[in-house]
Amino acid sequence: MNSKEITLFGGTGLIGRYLKDLIIDDPFFNKINFVTRRVYKSNQKKLVNHVIDFSKHKEISNTIKNSDIVYSAIGTTQSKVNWNKYEYRKVDYDINISIAMACKKFQIRNFSFVSTAGANYKSDNFYLKLKGEIEKDIISMNLPSTSIYRPSLLLGERKERRIGEKIAQFLMPKLSFLMPDKYKPINAKNVALSMINISKSIDKRHKLYHYKEIIENS
């Protein structure tokens, strides 16, 4: 087995932390380029921390160039950007597009990134429209392989407190039998497992993965 080098963006978030930990324990991978805004201390030999300015495409590109697979779990919240839609877009859209452009340049074997259930560039909802635009514009780049994950409410322990989400995490699993599959809450670890498993043997130019496909591949 030829072990793989990967680059991970958004590795300090809920899905990203699972990706990092699972990849560290997986012999399929020999190196993680772990990209952050601030220094991330780790004693894991497999993990190499790259502290970059995410607004600079060249710095993003330099972390990707030797990788086989690139994962992005980049995302923010309205509260983190003080409800500024322009700043929100700079994180969710600009960074993911810049990552995808670098993947295109270096012909990365697979780019896997997290979107959301209901993403639609024609939506009137700002969040769903933005996620849909990210998907559409990345797909249009015709990368060697793009895997797009559309989870709904993520279950798992976040570092930051989100009272509304805590309530939803408690209530929605109890009501999930009433929901269409694609909108059912899902554990963030299942999303991470699915991303890893699918990226190992990818053979499609681009594909969307919803709840059912994520569970089946986790």
Q: What is the pLDDT of residues 109-146, one digit of tens each?
A: 999 999 999 999 999 999 999 999 999 999 999 999 99
Please report the pLDDT score of residue 18 as a whole number.
97
DSSP, collapsed to helix, strand or coil, labels residue 108 as coil
The identity of residue 15, as a single letter, is I
pLDDT along the chain (218 residues), means of 10: 87 96 96 97 95 97 96 88 89 97 96 97 96 97 96 78 55 58 90 96 85 95
Helix axes 126-139, 96-105, angle to 10 degrees: 10
- Each domain of the chain, given as residue ranges in start order, spans 4-216
Please report the pLDDT score of residue 76 as a whole number.
84
CA angle in degrees (0–180, nearest 5) for 149-154-159? 120
The CATH fold of domain 4-216? Rossmann fold (3.40.50)
Please report the pLDDT score of residue 181 as a whole number.
79
Q: CA-to-CA distance for 185 and 154, rounded, in angstroms?
A: 6
CA separation (Å) from 154 to 69, 84, 146, 158? 23, 23, 22, 10
Beta bridge partners of 49: 34
217 CB-contact burial (10 Å; exposed 0-12 / middle 13-18 / buried 19+): middle
Residue 33 and residue 59 in contact, taking contact as beta carbons nearer than 8 Å: no
Question: Which string of DSSP letters, residue by residue, matches 121-166?
Answer: TT-SSHHHHHHHHHHHHHHTT--S-EEEE---SEES--SS--HHHH
The pTM assigned to this predicted structure is: 0.90
